[in-house]
Amino acid sequence: MLRFYAATFLSMMSNLSSVFMLCHDENFEMEDVQAKSLEHISAVREALMELQLPSLVAESDRFLKRLPTLSRDQISILLCELRDSIQHEFTNHLFLDIGPGFKWIFLKPAPPDEIVNSFSSTIFEFEDASRNLALDQPTAAVFHLMRALETGLNALANHFNVSFERRNWQNIINDVECEIQKIGPANGENWKNQEQFYSDAASHFRFLKNAWRNYVMHVHQRYSITEASKIRMHVLDFMQHLSSKLNDSSL
């Protein structure tokens, strides 16, 4: 996907405008016009390179190659042709605006390091969820967040040797809770801490299943940006919590 900043376009148009004004300002000697035009058109070329528009880069190169031999009028003519080519090329693209509130979510969509280290298989889900939010697709974002949560539930089930594949969350959580009830002194001195951690995790998965997962997976609900943003933060916090004792290394 081409990432395009409005400032790049404004700078490019400003450089073209500067060359046009130079060509019509008799206070500048022709040598100065050519030198400053070289500077401005080179900046335009760099912007076109950044935008991955090779045909326009090639047109800029031809302009720059001929520049030392051109008159003011000839520079103006080629300048108008380059401007028109840029405008025509831009009509072939659809540009979406990402505001400052979601800019960094789009540019740096990865989850926190704790999740990356413990649940690396969820990275793409969190990245897709973040980008969906930035692109105003909140329901799709929640869908990817539930897929990330599924990895957490899989890790919890695997910890207790509970079958996971092709089973619904309800039955998996029920079986996990049965295994949690077996935790006792035989599990070590901190068995009460273990029992609380895993009991809370299982209860939270049940809450998430009933609150969001069932609805987004079965076309029962559409989410707003505000709702999806809150769900994203909730899922990130929960997966960070799980990462303190679980991981996806054996899944």
Q: How does DSSP classify residue 110?
A: P
Q: What string of pLDDT tens digits covers the 251 residues of the chain?
A: 667 778 888 899 999 999 999 988 888 899 999 999 999 999 999 999 988 899 999 999 999 999 999 999 999 999 999 999 999 998 888 888 888 889 999 999 999 999 999 999 999 999 999 999 999 999 999 999 999 999 999 999 999 999 999 899 999 999 999 999 999 888 888 999 999 999 999 999 999 888 788 767 766 688 999 999 999 999 999 999 999 999 998 78
**CB of 125 closer than 8 Å to CB of 148:** yes
Residue 8 exposed, middle or buried by CB count within 10 Å (0-12, 13-18, 19+): middle
pTM confidence score: 0.79
Best CA proximity match to 98, nearest among 6, 212, 203: 6
Q: Which helix (H) or strand (E) holds 159?
A: helix 138-159
79 CB-near residues (< 8 Å, 6+ apart): 16, 19, 20, 23, 63
